Amino acid sequence: MNQLQRIATAIAEARLDGWLFYDFRLSDPIAYRILGLRSDELSTRRWFYFIPAAGEPRALVSAVEPSRLDRLPGDREVYRSAAEMTAGLRNLLRGARRIAMDYSPNCAIPYVSRVDAGTIELVRSFGVEPVSAADLIQRFEASLDGGQLASHRRAALALRQIVDECFAEIARLVRGGDHCDELGIQQFVCSRISARGLIAEEPPIVAVNAHSAVPHFSPTRENSDAIGYDDFVLLDQWAKEPGPDSIYGDLTWTAFVGDRVPAQHAQVFAIVAAARDSAVELIRRKLASGEPVSGMDADRAAREVIERAGYGPCFVHRTGHSIGREVHGTGANLDSFETLDHRILLDHTCFSVEPAIYLPGRFGVRSELDVAIEDGAATVSGGPPQQEIIPLLARYGS
C-alpha cells in the first residue's frame, strides 16, 4: 500500500469524505512533506489536491504553473482566472460533505493551522464542512520509522554527553579565575554540537540566575551575564544529525557553581522532577494497559504536582512538545494550558517532557527529557533523567 492509499484508508476510518491539501507560496510545508512534493521549486500560485476516501485523487493547478503537481496521480484541472479557480475547486469537491483541511478551529493547535480563513470560507460556500486534519497530520507527519527514532536517540545521547562537557568547562573556567559568561558557554556548546556532526536551527539556551527564570532567554553580547561562584546555571540544548529525515533530541539540565546546592534551589528542583516523572509514569501506565493517553492528560499529570506544591502560577507553559524533523514537531503536544491538545500520543512518535517553576528575578528550574513511544512502550532518550541539581565544583574535578 502506497502513501496515498494509506491516506485514503485513514480518511475513511475518520468517517470523512476526503482530505483537501492547499498551498499558496509554500504556506503549508506539511502538505509538501506528506505528499512528497519538492519545496525548492517555483511556486507562486494556488494549488489544490483532493484525496477522497474512495476513488481517484484530483488536482487543481494554475495555468502559470500547470505542472506543479505532476508528480502526483489523478486527474488535474487547470484554471486561469479567479472565477475558473472557484469553479474548479467546486468541481474538485463534488460529492463531498465533510473534509479534512490543515487548519485548527480557533487556531487551537497553531502548528497545524496552515490554511487561511478566506479559503476555509470559500470551501464552506460550496456546502462542504472542513474539519481539522490535526489527527491525520500526526499520523502521517509525526509518526516516525525505526531509523528516525534511532537517529533521535543518538542525538539525545550526544546532547547528554555535551551536558557534562559544558558543566566541566564552566567548573574549569571558574576555578581557574578565567572569564566565563553565558554567551561564551553558549558558543562552547555550539562547538561541541558541531564536533559531534550534529546541527541545530537555533543556538542553545545558557541562562544564569535571574535569566533562568525567562523560559526562552537568549544571551547576546549586550545581555550576557558572567558565570561565577554560587551561580545557578540552566542549559537547554537541541540538535539532530544532518539529513532531511533525522529527528531532534532536546534536553535541559541545571547546575550550581559550588560544592553544595542551596536548599531552595534543591526543593524547587525536586518538585519539578516529581512533576516530570508523574507525566512519564502516567504515559507508561496507560500504554501498558492499552489505554489511550492524550497530550492534555500528560500535561495535567505534571501540572497538578506543581499546583499542589503551591507553584501553579510559576509554571507558565505547556509540559512538553512534539519532536520531529524540527525541534518543535507537528504531533501531539503535552498541553492543557496554552492550548487544549486532545490528540492521542501515538506509537512511533517522540516528544519532550519539561515542566518548570520560574521565580522572576531570582531563578527558574526546568527539567527536560525526551520520550519515544515504540511498539507500545515509552522510553526515555539520552540516559537516565536528572535527579538533582549538579554541584559543579564537587562533581567536576579539582
The answer on pLDDT for 1 being more than 80 is no
Q: CA 109, CA 59: separation in Å to the nearest integer?
A: 27
Query: What is the count of structural domains for the chain?
Result: 2
Look at residue 11 in the predicted model and tell me its pLDDT. 97
CATH number for 35: 3.40.350.10
Q: Is 356 helix (H, G, I), strand (E, B) or coil?
A: strand
* Tens-digit pLDDT profile for residues 91-118: 999 999 999 999 999 998 998 999 999 9
For CA atoms 340, 149, 145, 273, the dihedral sign is negative
* Residue 278 and residue 390 in one domain: yes
Query: Average pLDDT, stretch 134-149?
Result: 94
Q: Is the domain of 221 the same as that of 323?
A: yes
Residues 328, 200 share a domain: yes
Antiparallel, parallel or unpaired: β 205-208 and 232-239 = antiparallel
The backbone torsions φ and ψ at residue 266, rounded to the nearest 5 degrees and listed phi first, read: -65, -40
227 shares a domain with 110? no
What tens digit of pLDDT does each residue of 349-388 get?
999 999 999 999 999 999 999 999 999 999 999 999 999 9
3-state SS, residue 29:
helix
DSSP 8-state secondary structure symbol assigned to residue 224:
P
Same domain for 157 and 245? yes
- 368 contact partners, CB below 8 Å, separation of at least 6: 236, 250, 251, 252, 276, 320, 352, 353, 354
Instruction: For residues 135 and 150, state if they share a domain.
Output: no
- Residue 210 is given by DSSP the state G
The domain boundary residue, chosen from 87, 116, 141:
141
Nine-digit cell string for 102: 490543515
Q: Could you report the per-residue pLDDT of 333-356, keeping only the tens digit for each?
A: 999 999 999 999 999 999 999 999
CA distances from 90 to 12, 82, 239, 359, 367 (A): 21, 12, 44, 55, 51
C-alpha 312/C-alpha 128 separation (Å) is 43
Same-domain check for residues 150 and 115: no
Span 276-310, pLDDT tens digits: 999 999 999 999 999 999 999 999 999 999 999 99
Grid cell at residue 145:
520509522
Beta strand 58-62 with 98-101 is unpaired
Cβ–Cβ < 8 Å for 267, 288:
no
CB 300 within 8 A of CB 278: no
396 vs 379: CA distance, rounded Å: 28
pLDDT of 397: 73
pTM summary value: 0.92
- 267 shares a domain with 133: no
Q: Do 150 and 122 reside in the same domain of the chain?
A: no
Q: What is the pLDDT of residue 398?
A: 64
Residue type at position 264? Q
Look at residues 141, 156, 185 and tell me which one is the last residue of a structural domain: 141
Please report, for the domain that includes residue 367, its CATH number: 3.90.230.10
Last residue of a domain, one of 141, 176, 191: 141
Q: Are 119 and 207 found together in one domain?
A: no
Shared domain for 70 and 112, answered yes or no, is yes
For residue 189, give its domain range.
143-395
- Is 72 in the same domain as 202? no
